[in-house]
Structure 1
Amino acid sequence: MELKEQFEKAAADSKNLPAKPDNETLLQLYSLYKQGTEGDVNTEAPSNPFDFVGKAKYEAWSSIKGKTKEAAMEEYVALVEKLKGVNA
């Protein structure tokens, strides 16, 4: 299966995990997904000081700036497989 197909399957599978991941893992999934689909962060940081979720997402995505889309996709697929309980 091609990487893009694996990535899209993992994205679908991530919605049906056996248990909800902790917030740190959710941020990791978010940042890898965004990096895999859009590349480096391309928006401004949220300006609302009370948008804690938005800021956390922005910082998580920004923290992996420079990672290739392919590397992000591979890490995302591996992380979803791990969360599903399947050895990647």
Structure 2
Amino acid sequence: MGLKEDFEAAAKDATASLPDNVSNDEKLEMYALYKQALTGDCNTAQPGIFDPKGRAKWSAWNAKKGTSQEEAMQKYIELVAALKAKYGTKK
């Protein structure tokens, strides 16, 4: 499979297989790499102070600025594999 197919398979694995006890920091890292892989650099305004969840997600994605979409795909695939090894999969 190519990189794009591997990325899509990892994305399906992340939503279907990873258990709920993955840490928030790990979820933010997955989110940021996923957004960077699909969209590229962050292209939205930072959410307001009354949206802490949105700000955390925006900050995580914005921290990936300059990372190529291909590199983000590869890092996402590796992160999902590492999280599956660390936490196992849903029963």
- Partner-residue secondary structure (3-state), 1:26: helix
Q: Name the CA distance, whole Å, in 1 between partners of 2:20 and 2:70.
A: 27
Quote the residue 1:30 is aligned against. 31
Instruction: State TM-score, norm by structure 2.
Output: 0.88
Quote the residue 2:62 is aligned against. 62
Counting matched residue pairs gives: 85
* Post-superposition CA distance 1:63-85 (Å, at most 9, x none): 11000000000000000011111
Q: Name the CA distance, whole Å, in 1 between partners of 2:71 and 2:55.
A: 24
Q: List aligned pairs for 1:1-88, cutoff 5 A.
A: 1-15=1-15, 16-47=17-48, 49-85=49-85
Gaps of 5+ in 1: none
Gaps of 5+ in 2: 87-91
Moved more, 16-25 or 35-44: 16-25
* Post-superposition CA distance 1:21-80 (Å, at most 9, x none): 100000000000000000000100112x12110000000000110000000000000000
Aligned identity (percent) is 47
Q: Name the CA distance, whole Å, in 2 between partners of 1:17 and 1:33.
A: 15
Instruction: State TM-score, norm by structure 1.
Output: 0.91
Quote the residue 2:89 is aligned against. none
Offset at residue 19 of structure 1 (A):
5.0
4+ residue runs over 3 A deviation: none
